[in-house]
Amino acid sequence: VHIWVRLSTGKDLRLSASMSDTIGQLKKQLQAQEGIDLAWQRWFFSGKLLTDRTRLQETKIQKDFVVQAGGGCNP
């Protein structure tokens, strides 16, 4: 599936994912694409903070849903 990630800058990115992927795995994908350090990433969906161990299938995120990814600037 593809999910949309909206960065705190307002930029939208599309990530390829499997429903068995963890948020931690997707954070690594975002880091590879955008260079955003893992320690600075905070992912939210439906107003809830998503933990690194949470699997997509547990979140009810579906194809083309938007996840908010906030974070500070890289140090």
Give the CATH number of domain 2-70: 3.10.20.90
What is the residue extent of each domain of the chain?
2-70
Host H or E run for residue 26: helix 23-34
Q: What pLDDT is recorded for position 75?
A: 45
For 10-41, the pLDDT digits (tens) are: 999 999 999 999 999 999 999 999 999 999 99
Statement: the pTM of the whole predicted model exceeds 0.95? no
pLDDT value, residue 72? 54
Is 19:28 a contact under the CB 8 Å cutoff?
A: no
Pairing of strands 66-70, 2-7: parallel
Q: For the residues 40-58, what does the mean pLDDT come to?
A: 94
More confident site: 71 or 36: 36
